[in-house]
Amino acid sequence: MLVVARKNTKHIDVLESQITSRGQTTIPASVLRTLNLKKGVDRIQYQVLPSGDVLIPRKQKEENDPIIGKFLDFLANDIVKNPQHLQALPEPLLCRIDKITEGVEIGNLDTPLPDDEG
């Protein structure tokens, strides 16, 4: 069951839609309006709660910070052009990092992340 609570109201709409043999459903028009979703443009997410209930919020658009990208490019170029400026981390800092991250397991960083996009 999908329960949609509209903003600024105490009334809760209980809506249903049928699941097709291909596992698809149509989102009711009132839900599209409530979430301000645009067909063919917006995406939704499915958040499965420990209780077994599922929340279906609008997927927030990722905001890319153009400054961060330019800064990282600058650093990468500087490292290539000026490798003599690279310095090893001081031993006390390395020990502190080891202490803070003790027990933290890091998987294989070369393994691709799973594609959760549907």
pLDDT digit string (tens) for 48-77? 888 888 888 777 776 677 788 889 889 999
- The neighbour count for residue 61, using CB atoms within 10 Å, is 8
Q: Whole-angstrom Cα distance, residue 74 to residue 5?
A: 47
Q: Whole-angstrom Cα distance, residue 17 to residue 26?
A: 6
Give the pLDDT score at 5. 52
DSSP assignment letter at 104? -
Q: Whole-angstrom Cα distance, residue 31 to residue 42?
A: 13
Q: Three-state SS for 15?
A: strand
